[in-house]
Amino acid sequence: MPHFLTTQDAGFEAAFTALLGMKREDSPDVDATVAAIIADVRARGDAAVIELTAKFDRLELTPETLAFTAAEIAAEVAKVSAEDRAALELAATRIRAYHARQMPEDQMWQEDNGAQLGWRWTPVSAAGLYVPGGLASYPSSVLMNAIPAKVAGVARLAIACPTPGGVVNPLVLLAAQIAGVDVIYRIGGAQAIAALAYGTDSIAAVDKITGPGNAFVAAAKRRVFGKVGIDMIAGPSEILVIADGDTDPDWVALDLLSQAEHDESAQSILITPDAAYARTVTAAVEKRLETLERRAIAGASWRDFGAVIVTRDLEEAAALSNRVAPEHLELCVADPDALSARITHAGAIFLGGWTPEAIGDYVGGPNHVLPTARSARFSSGLSVMDFLKRTTLAKMTPEALAAIGPAAERLAISESLEAHGLSVRARLNRLNGTH
Q: Which of 197, 254, 309, 310 binds its own copies (CB under 8 A)?
A: 254
Query: What gap in Å lies between CA 328 and CA 292, rounded to an integer?
Result: 22
The neighbour count for residue 215, using CB atoms within 10 Å, is 17
CB of 413 to its own copies, least distance (A): 9
Q: Are 375 and 325 in contact (CB under 8 A)?
A: yes
Instruction: State residue 394 phi and psi, 5-degree precision.
Output: -145, 135
**Of positions 233, 275, 300, 334, contacts its own copies by CB under 8 A:** 233
328 is in an annotated binding site: yes
The residues in 123-152 that bind its own copies, with binding defined as CB under 8 A, are: 124-125, 135, 138-140
Q: How far is the CB of 105 from its own copies (least distance, A)?
A: 10
DSSP string computed for 305-366: H-EEEE-SSHHHHHHHHHHH--SEEEEESS-HHHHHTT--S-SEEEESTT--HHHHHHTSSS
User: Which residue among 275, 292, 319, 334 contacts its own copies (CB under 8 A)?
Assistant: 292
Among 63, 164, 180, 365, the residue binding its own copies under the rule CB under 8 A is 365
CA distances from 149 to 61, 122, 145, 422 (A): 28, 12, 7, 43
Distance of closest approach, residue 254 Cβ to its own copies, in angstroms: 4
Closer by beta carbon to its own copies, 14 or else 90: 90
Q: 6-10, long-range: CB within 8 Å, 24+ apart, which pairs?
A: 6/275, 6/309, 6/310, 7/309, 7/310, 7/311, 7/312, 7/316, 7/320, 8/310, 8/312
Of 161, 159, 157, 158, whose CA–CA distance to 136 is shortest? 161
Question: 162 or 364, CB closer to its own copies?
Answer: 364
Catalytic-role residue among 76, 99, 238, 328: 328
Nearer to its own copies, 65 or 85 (CB): 85
Residue among 40, 161, 144, 39 nearest 98 (CA): 144
CB of 130 to its own copies, least distance (A): 16
Q: Which residues of 356-387 are buried (b: 16+ CB within 10 A; e: fewer)?
A: bbbebbbbbbbbbbbbbbbbbeeebbbbbbbb
- Looking at residues 258 to 287 of the shown chain, list those that interact with its own copies (rule: CB under 8 A): 258, 260-262
Known binder of ligand: residue 420?
Answer: yes
Cβ proximity of 319 and 328 under 8 Å: no
When binding is defined by CB under 8 A, the residue of 133, 213, 236, 381 that contacts its own copies is 381
Indicate the residue among 392 and 434 with the shorter CB distance to its own copies.
Answer: 392
| Sign of the CA dihedral running 79, 80, 81, 85 | negative
Question: Helices 249-260 and 295-305 meet at what angle, rounded to 10?
Answer: 100
Among 390, 432, 433, 434, contact with its own copies (rule: CB under 8 A): 390
Q: Annotated catalytic, 328?
A: yes
Polymer length in residues for the chain: 435
**Where in 2-61 is the site for its own copies (CB under 8 A)?**
none
Instruction: Please list every residue from 154 through 183 that binds its own copies, using CB under 8 A.
Output: 171
Q: How far apart are CA 291 and CA 371, in angstroms?
A: 31
345 flagged as catalytic: no
The interface with its own copies within residues 340-359 (CB under 8 A) comprises 340, 343-359
CB of 233 to its own copies, least distance (A): 7
Q: Tell me: is residue 26 an annotated ligand-binding position.
A: no
Q: Is 418 annotated as a binding residue?
A: no
Active-site residue, selected from the candidate residues 238, 261, 327, 330: 327
Under rule CB under 8 A, residue 91 binds its own copies: yes
Angle, nearest 10°, between helix axes 139-152 and 170-179?
Answer: 10
Q: How far is the CB of 329 from its own copies (least distance, A)?
A: 8
Distance of alpha carbon 148 from alpha carbon 123, whole angstroms:
11
State which residue, 190 or 257, has the beta carbon closest to its own copies.
257
Part of the chain binding its own copies (CB under 8 A), chosen from 1-9, 12-20, 144-152, 291-299: 291-299
Contacts of its own copies in 416-435 (CB under 8 A): 416-424, 426-427, 430
Residues labelled as active-site residues = 327-328
Binding residues for NAD(+): 130, 191, 214
Binding residues for Zn(2+): 259, 262, 361, 420
